[in-house]
Amino acid sequence: MRKIVSLMLVAVVVLGIVGLAQTPVVPREYGVFLFDNESGAAAAKIGIQFDKAVEIATSDIIAFGGGAVKLLSVVQNYVWIEVEVVSGGTLQVTLRGDSADAAVGSAYWFD
């Protein structure tokens, strides 16, 4: 019984830590998506879910207050970008072609 309770408590703590590590972000839209890093710390990754499948190239991503894109992974409507963005910096993502009318469902900064 103690083992089960201990394992459940550890699982709750781990899930709580993962939940705190994710900082939601709402993009500003001006023909492109602008994701402001208001997490209070430098962010290394962002996960974005769009409402439809998108196509993005590294040339479509610019970090203002950050570095170059280290990794870009696109699987249908999910995008994972590894890029350093300082606290207060902005990540610009431009969608082109058939992807241009996609909307962001959710986006989260990660450490």
Cβ atoms < 10 Å from Cβ of 102: 18
Structural domain span for residue 76: 24-110
Element (H, E) at 43: strand 43-50
- Confidence at residue 38, expressed as pLDDT on a 0 to 100 scale: 87
Residue 45 forms part of a structural domain: yes
76 part of a folded domain? yes
- Dihedral pair phi/psi, residue 61, rounded to 5°: -120, 130
Residue 5 resides in a domain = no
What CATH number corresponds to the domain at position 44? 2.60.40
pLDDT digits (tens), the chain, 111 positions: 767 766 566 656 555 555 555 667 666 655 589 999 988 888 899 999 999 999 999 999 999 988 999 999 999 999 999 999 999 999 999 998 888 889 999 999 988
Give a yes or no: residue 6 inside a domain: no
b/e string for 59-96 if b means 16 or more Cβ within 10 A? ebbbbeebeebeeeebeeeebebebbbeeebbbbbebe
Residue 18 lies in a domain: no
